[in-house]
Amino acid sequence: MQIIETALPGVLILEPRRFGDERGFFVETFQVERYAAAGIVEPFVQDNLSRSAYGVLRGLHLQNPNAQAKLLSVLKGSVLDVSVDVRLGSPTFGRHIAIELSEENGRQIFVPRGFAHGFVVLSETADVFYKCDNLYSPASEIVVRWDDPRLGIDWRVAAPTLSARDKAALPLAEVDGLPRYEA
């Protein structure tokens, strides 16, 4: 497995090995010892699967308290995946990374606690699978405005489809309850 560090410390891009032939391919999407060697030691307690159509944007979401780290991969299709550092006091506060995850490239992204996360579907449909290290807590959910001009995210989709919750989200500067950076 190849591990690629990003400009946001703790956010990792992972490229698991694929073994393929004329029948298709095989890949280990998670193996506790290998991922622990990469620094991902969280015990995952919840798995999620979403299916979305082209242009659907889900995000930017996080939980605080009851934060979640996430390990994401795309089983079908392609998405632009975005992580934003929203930890108050962090040297990279308000900065983001955006990478394409697809069934073709087989990449995964690990998003640690304290980061807002979202994705937009670039293909006709996309199935996104993710493991979480804490249970979903609606009372702890925070939503950051996807098109906050201070974040400067190029989502690559002109008019995304949003949920009512994502449409009503506040810009990062107006969001209360953000997590604190711990060095």
CATH number for 76: 2.60.120.10
In a domain, residue 53? The reply is yes
What pLDDT band is residue 183 in, cutting at 50, 70 and 90?
confident
Note the pLDDT of residue 95: 98
Measure Cα distances from 75 to 27, 34, 106, 122, 156 in Å: 12, 20, 8, 14, 21
Residue-number span of the structural domain to which 71 is assigned: 43-174
Residue 117 designated active-site: no
In a domain, residue 26? The reply is no
Q: Number of structural domains, the chain?
A: 1
Note the pLDDT of residue 5: 97
d(CA 153, CA 52): 20
- From 35, 61, 96, 117, the catalytic residue: 61
Note the pLDDT of residue 57: 98
Burial of 147 (0-12, 13-18, 19+ CB in 10 A): middle
In a domain, residue 98? The reply is yes
Q: Per-residue pLDDT tens for 103-143? A: 999 999 999 999 999 999 999 999 999 999 999 999 999 99
Q: Per-residue pLDDT tens for 65-90? A: 999 999 999 999 999 999 999 999 99
Rounded average pLDDT over 32-45? 95
Tokens of 30: 């998670």
d(CA 104, CA 16): 12
In a domain, residue 156? The reply is yes
d(CA 17, CA 27): 6
Tokens of 147: 């098109």
In a domain, residue 100? The reply is yes
In a domain, residue 24? The reply is no
In a domain, residue 22? The reply is no
pTM of the entire structure? Answer: 0.96
- From 35, 96, 130, 181, the catalytic residue: 130
Instruction: Evaluate whether 8 touches 85 at the Cβ level (below 8 Å).
Output: yes
Residue 181 designated active-site: no
In a domain, residue 181? The reply is no
